[in-house]
Structure 1
């Protein structure tokens, strides 16, 4: 009897030991990363000041993204316990990248903002390229916030997808150099007799509101030009500002030119002098 009990106990111990070894060898479940574990730190390669040109220009920029690595395809390809992807949009896809007016001379209703193009598909962490700020010759000079939303989508197994959105913003100032302001400005005059009032009408883009238009005149035989009329651009109509410069000093044989002063976000410029001629 004793012999049989000893053998049975030994067999039971062997089974218990084998079972214990089996349990110890089972792999532990991978803990999924916490949702929202990412940061959008900066917008790169985009200058703080951009000059308008006579043709549309595109300014490429990047976004720096760090955090939980994105998966390839539509599964947990890297085995970290969660499927993670990133897109340049808000969680409900209601807002993408945008440029928002901060300050302009032009009233808000008439502002022509720059536009942004960017990737519409999912991308990985790191330096994300493919963003472009598009500035046309008719973009309103001023200060803008260039903003990009990055949304992380994360799902674990059959659980609902968790979405977290973070924005990154850079302020950019767009200025109008002399050549652009001049190309969008024109002037014309009436005809007058000696001693009568000459009237020169100057029409400029609305972003020149607050600037002054000057009429310079040099009499026949004189060496220097002198200001004979000036007026400030005040009210805008149909996205233009207009002033009329008046003077009785202009004579046949003299020369005159128009100059427009600088104002906020736009440089000064002047036109070539013209000889005053007898019309008939």
Structure 2
């Protein structure tokens, strides 16, 4: 079946044609095709961002502060227990997608695996009704404290509970408490993605009509590279993707939003 002429498909076609012209020593046409590919591909992320509802002032403040911090220095000085980076922040289009899901489905109970500085956490809390609740698991104490400091200055503080420590331990504790959730968002240690999914299913943490959203499921484009070209994290994400695809009790769709987001539901 012929592929639709998306910007990605057209850009790739330009690059392939440029390669053919390079082999023929037709440098002028190759350069023109490469420039055409850049025009189509370089603007995708900006187009998505500019055609998405903007972040609230509170979210913008979290993003600004997160981007300003010298995370490598904080680690060197022993202020963080792990090496963190500003790029771990989920970008606004992803947050707006989560808010859209919550609003359309009328969800009230959210579990987040990996809060970092609380950008996505607060975004989801903004979409929850007054009696809604989000429980966020964050292993890094510095990030958890930073997120709490942001939440205190918003009207959504009472909706949010951060559980510091191992997410898997927190998930077991939540199960022991009889907790279940309508939306579970995963954006944490890629090496544990399969463990998170197993915990959700084994502990029955998801309501039957609920949804799991997982970030970074394209993982820098590594998942479709040959195995020998993948990093350890890329291989872990691809194994997670295969686990989801092969599970008879799950239905799912991957969206090519930024680094990939996968939506999963129980059959």
For this structure pair, what is the TM-score category when the shorter chain's length is used for normalisation? Answer: under 0.3
Q: Which has the higher helix share?
A: 2
Q: Which has the higher strand share?
A: 1
Q: Which one has more relative contact order, counting CA pairs under 8 Å at least 6 apart? A: 1
TM-score by length of 1: 0.23
TM-score by length of 2: 0.24
Which structure has the greater CA radius of gyration?
A: 1
